[in-house]
A and B are shown apart, each in its own frame.
Chain A
Amino acid sequence: MPEIPLLSTDRAQTTDETDTEPLEDAALLASDIELGYGEEIVVDCEHLVIPDGRVTALVGPNGSGKSTLLKGLSAELSPESGTVLLHGRDVHERSVPALARELGLLDQENDAPGGLTVDDLVTHGRYPHRGFLDPLSEDDYAAIDRAIDLAGIDHLRETALAELSGGQKQLAFIAMALAQDTDVLLLDEPTTYLDLHHQLRVMEVIRTLNDERDVTVCVVLHDLQQATRFAEYLVALEDGAVYDWGPPEEVVTEQLLADVFDVDASVRHDPDGDPHIVPRRAIE
């Protein structure tokens, strides 16, 4: 595996710490990838590491290429150049079902027939583990139960999706992705459009998943403050390139907010070292 330092060496601002943290295994490693649609290149990123067994948040303003990068990482989009390695092997080398057993992806917007019950939906998460004619095995039932339990929607098992609130529905879809039982899970803005209660529920599920089952999570988040609270690593994107990355307390600076988000803000650190962002005004 190529040796890539955990902290990027090409950071735009000067920081006083040295960029030589101990190396860690990368669950996902993208090198020199260019991703785009047709002629237009949206993401051009020299290297990106999603560390194994951690929660990593991808942050950046609208149009910075977060979702496109996620498509590249999940092999939905083939890079124009460069490679994406999942546990050391190119994602495109795997068959679609094999990839789905290792890497889960939950889209920003999900749609399913309203008549489907939560149980039915979560059962579909077992799709990559079942053959064409295979009935549900004991393993499948166990995985479904675990997923529903982890998402905290036991009481909704028999409820039709049409009767759920937006937040409950999102938890049901997350449970489906959990039932897939993958080592790596990519989530595209799972908290957007949700009320605060459900935003926290979703983030807590992600944390638990990581703590208890050691699943590598890469989550695109809109809300920088939320990202600093729940993620161990942040990757900040600007115009399709990685601006900076590392632990939140190092990445989240007033400079980052000004450069990447065009926001004049003050960043204060509470006694634990967690950054708190107080936005003042938008920079023209």
Chain B
Amino acid sequence: MSRRRRVHDALAPDLDATLASIIGASVLLTVVAGLVQVRYGAYGMSLETAVRALFDRAVWTNPDVLATIVLGQRGAAALGLTADLGTLSDATILVWTSRLPRVLVAGFVGLNLAVSGAVFQAITRNELASPYILGVSSGAGVAVVFTLLFSLGAYLLPLAAVVGGTAAFLLVYAIAWRGGTTPVRLVLAGVVVGTIFNSLQTGLFYFIDSNGVMRTAVAWLAGSLTGVGWPEARIVAVPTLLVVPAALVSARQLDVLLLGERAARSLGMRVEHMRFGLSALAIVAASAAVAVAGLVGFVGLVVPHVVRTFVGSDYRQLMAGCLFAGPALVVVADVFARLALPGTQIPVGVVTGLLGGPYFLLLLRRTDSFTEF
């Protein structure tokens, strides 16, 4: 069997009708919400203008222009490509430099959070686990507030979030380790680290005296996409290129891990190696999202949960569903975050929380037993 065929078989899940309709619906939602996002705003335009701007041939047929927009002036210049964007129409400039990248970032954020949540739900054998269960949110939160408090520079925020989140995750692992780990010990260690770091974060908050800094901090902690552009899209795109194939390849490992530690071991899995590797993947995914959008809540919890209710707990299907449903949720939520209140924007994390809460209320009312896992 050729190498290519092998990779294809490992990456492509069996596409059944349910999964296909989840993917179809997600793509549709993403496209519609994306169009709304591109069309509406302080500078209004007709749908036709918006679509024309999106498919503007001045951009698509011109690598110099495209590279300058996507990679930035400096990035494009490094490739030897330069262009003057002033020649483009106003609508095209607005769509391409401001509104489209925000939709893309929202999509990437949703994808990474959904994958991360799905992985953590399998590792902890808890279908209510979120990407933040092993301390990422609290670690990133402290680092971000610290950076803001001491005015270390706003450009450092993504880096601070990733470093803080990863440090907290490693600390959790160190605390949970006693000749090995167990899901319960990992979760408990996550609670320990989370509690301490959240206290630190609250303590740091107390010393912020500028209103503007406070607002930035809150936006970060709630998760916001206000003002994101191509630089953020580039930051999140790079890890995503790694996360997507890794998530699809990991699906079978997650399925085996879900049989329980002893069963996985007797089937020949090096459980500790695998669990650490998979956690690391989930942390990379979560960090990528946190770095550009802050701590957007509920996405990583709700998306795998919703997809699971349709496709069951086969991770090859679940992962594929998450790759599409995650972006759909965040892109839609961001439409509300940006356009719901005229004249101002709210953090997208607030919207996902407002959507996620009622979903679980509904679930609580309609389900008698939670035995899917």
Contacts and interface: CB of A to CB of B under 8 A. Distances in A.
- Co-complex (A, B): yes
Interface of A: 74, 76, 95-101, 104-107, 110-116, 120, 124-125, 127-128, 132-135, 160, 162, 180
Nearest to A106: B266
9 contacts: A96-B269, A97-B269, A97-B270, A104-B266, A107-B266, A116-B312, A124-B267, A134-B10, A162-B371
Nearest to B12: A135
Given A96-B269, A110-B260, A133 B373 contact: no
A8 B249 CA distance: 50
B259 interface: yes
Interface of B: 1, 5-7, 9-10, 249, 255-256, 258-260, 262-263, 265-270, 312-314, 371-373
A112 B258 contact: yes
B314 A110 contact: no
Given A114-B371, A162-B371, A134 B267 contact: no
B10 A127 contact: no
Contacts of A97: 268-270
Nearest to B311: A115
B312 A99 contact: no
Given A107-B262, A112-B258, A113-B312, A135 B269 contact: no
Contact of B373 (A113, A125, A128): A113
Contact of A113 (B262, B266, B313): B313
B259 A105 contact: no
Given A113-B372, A116-B313, A134-B6, A96 B265 contact: yes
B123 to A, nearest CB: 14
List of 9 A-B pairs having minimum Cβ-Cβ separation, nearest first: A100-B268, A128-B268, A115-B312, A135-B9, A113-B313, A97-B268, A105-B266, A133-B10, A127-B267
Nearest to B267: A127
A127 B268 contact: yes
A133 B268 contact: no
Nearest to B125: A111
A80 B95 CA distance: 69
Contacts of A111: 259-260
A125 B267 contact: yes
Given A110-B259, A114-B371, A124-B259, A100 B267 contact: yes
Contacts of A105: 262, 266
A128 B269 CA distance: 7
